[in-house]
Amino acid sequence: MNILIINSGSSSIKFQLIQMPSETLVCSGLVERIGNKDAVLNYKNETIKLKQIHYINNHKQGLQIIIDLLLDAENGVIEDIKEIAAVGHRVVHGGNTFSNTALVTPEVKQKIQQYAPLAPLHNPSNLEGIEIAEEYFPHAKQIAVFDTAFHQTIPTKARKYAIPNDLYEDKDIQVYGFHGTSHKYVSEKAIEYLKLERSKIISIHLGNGCSMTAIQDGKSIDHSMGFAPTNGLIMGSRSGDIDHSVIFYLVNSLGYSLENVNNLLTKKSGMLGLTGYNDLRDIEKEAEKGNIDCLLALEMNAYRIKKFIGTYVAAMNGLDAIIFTAGIGENSSLIRELVCKDMDFFGIELDKDKNNGKAKSIREISTSTAEARILIIPTNEELEIAKQAYCLLN
């Protein structure tokens, strides 16, 4: 069964065609800068890798270009659109309605729309992706996989904010949690690898967005992001945790509008705000040259992660393993080293040689005597979506 995975963002569409149940990646690609004259399409399959520049006005045109390529006589991978049996969609916010993957129905779409104010940058584009796919693939099953679903197991004591009860009960203000597809995927891999029946795992997803999850016996029990994907760790351009008094001070004393504050905390803060660079590779290069801002930002970033590790060890009363995943987690030996430094109290001891090596699959980088294991596990949100879609249909 061919499943097309679509991750539709505000100005991009990521896609993969995966054959299930063999989990074979047939092709993958990304359309970026939708709405621009120089939108970029990157595409690869087993034999070719190509990059094209198009004028792509909107998501509908973007998806049409992807379909044309899938069907292309020279570079395509299918002969008929009907060869795609299902389309799996990443949906960021499923509120407290979805604890599982869902077959798209008018009611499901209505709920995704309803939760749009909670994820204004993501849910509207996710829904648009679904509606365009319904039009282009009328024969295929449409399936929604929610980033928030994995976190529905977080107990009330960790889910509720200490604000009046009616805001939780009537207005649904609470911790939802994000990157659930990634945390689920890597923690299941870890449990399988470690052969554990009972487990206490901390999953650390460090990409452009960064989050951590405490996972006990395979279930999310606490998470660093909350109501929206903004708090917790220091991210590429998001501040993560900040005293909310700062927001009032910015508005009431410094004359910021609420929109400016939002822009400041989500687009101009984090590593970008601290260093002037968004990409961790640039920050590491600058730090090597002695750039003090970059050195401090790396320390701050790792320090915040350490604090969350401490919190989650306390929440689970123990620790079997920590997992590093996503762009930074999988690739930055420096961040891993800074995070694991002076953490032997928790049984975390890094083997520096193993940390500096390279591998595509699961890699264990703890010392042979460490009580808690340190794993690098490449995330694969698209494959997880395909697995869940396949599972739902079979």
Which residues make up the interface to ligand ADP (CB under 6 A)? 207-209, 236, 279-281, 326-328, 331-332
Side-by-side strand order, sheet with 321-325:
219-223, 210-216, 200-206, 321-325, 373-376, 363-364
Kindly tell me which of 153 and 331 has the beta carbon lying closer to ligand ADP: 331
> Phi and psi for 341 in degrees, rounded to 5?
-70, 135
> Phi and psi for 237 in degrees, rounded to 5?
-135, 10
CA angle 224–198–328, rounded 5-degree value = 35
Q: Is 320 a catalytic residue?
A: no
Classify 157 as helix, strand or coil: helix
Residue 329 C-beta: closest distance to ligand ADP, Å: 8
Q: Sign of the CA dihedral 353, 356, 359, 364?
A: positive
Distance CA(234)–CA(301), nearest Å, equals 6
Residue 73 C-beta: closest distance to ligand ADP, Å: 32
Residue 331 C-beta: closest distance to ligand ADP, Å: 3
Kindly tell me which of 209 and 232 has the beta carbon lying closer to ligand ADP: 209
Distance CA(372)–CA(8), nearest Å, equals 37
Residue 250 C-beta: closest distance to ligand ADP, Å: 26
Classify 240 as helix, strand or coil: coil
Q: How many Cα neighbours within 13 Å face the side chain of 134?
A: 14
Closest residue by Cα to residue 60 from 133, 158, 146: 133
Kindly tell me which of 42 and 331 has the beta carbon lying closer to ligand ADP: 331
Kindly tell me which of 9 and 347 has the beta carbon lying closer to ligand ADP: 9
Residue 66 C-beta: closest distance to ligand ADP, Å: 19
Kindly tell me which of 140 and 235 has the beta carbon lying closer to ligand ADP: 235
Kindly tell me which of 222 and 330 has the beta carbon lying closer to ligand ADP: 330
Q: What residue spans of the chain are helical by DSSP H?
A: 59-71, 106-114, 123-136, 156-159, 165-169, 180-194, 245-252, 258-267, 270-275, 280-288, 292-316, 326-331, 333-340, 352-356, 381-393
Question: What token pair was written down for 321?
Answer: 């393993």
For residues 15 and 4, the answer to whether their CB atoms sit within 8 Å is: yes
**Nearest-CB residue to ligand ADP?**
327
**Catalytic option among 68, 72, 147, 166:** 147
Kindly tell me which of 75 and 208 has the beta carbon lying closer to ligand ADP: 208
Cβ burial, residue 164 (10 Å; 0-12/13-18/19+): exposed
Residue 386 C-beta: closest distance to ligand ADP, Å: 17
Residue 16 C-beta: closest distance to ligand ADP, Å: 13
- Residues labelled as active-site residues: 147
